[in-house]
Amino acid sequence: MQGKKVYQEQLFNSFRLSDRVPSTNFYRRLKEALNLDFLYDLTRGFYGSSGQKSIDPVVFFKLCL
């Protein structure tokens, strides 16, 4: 089963990771320059329909970078 990471800030938390990551961070700049949503369609055939969800293909691709 293909997983998809859904990131949501917590409501009552004084620490927000997104505030601590600099705007010059590689992954922030990559997200602005490259839309990797096409990976979901390209990898759909490699995932089953049952079992636990796997790692998000976009996250996996970024980890490989």
Q: What is the pTM of this model?
A: 0.61
Low-confidence ranges of the chain (pLDDT < 70): 10-13
Q: How far is 35 from 45, CA to CA, in rounded Å?
A: 20
Q: Which amino acid is at 18?
A: S
Residue 40: how many CA atoms within 13 Å on its side-chain side?
8
DSSP for 18-33, please give it.
Answer: HHHS-TT-HHHHHHHH
Per-residue model confidence (pLDDT) at position 16: 80
Q: Counting beta carbons within 10 angstroms of the beta carbon of residue 26, is it exposed (0 to 12), middle (13 to 18) or buried (19 or more)?
A: exposed
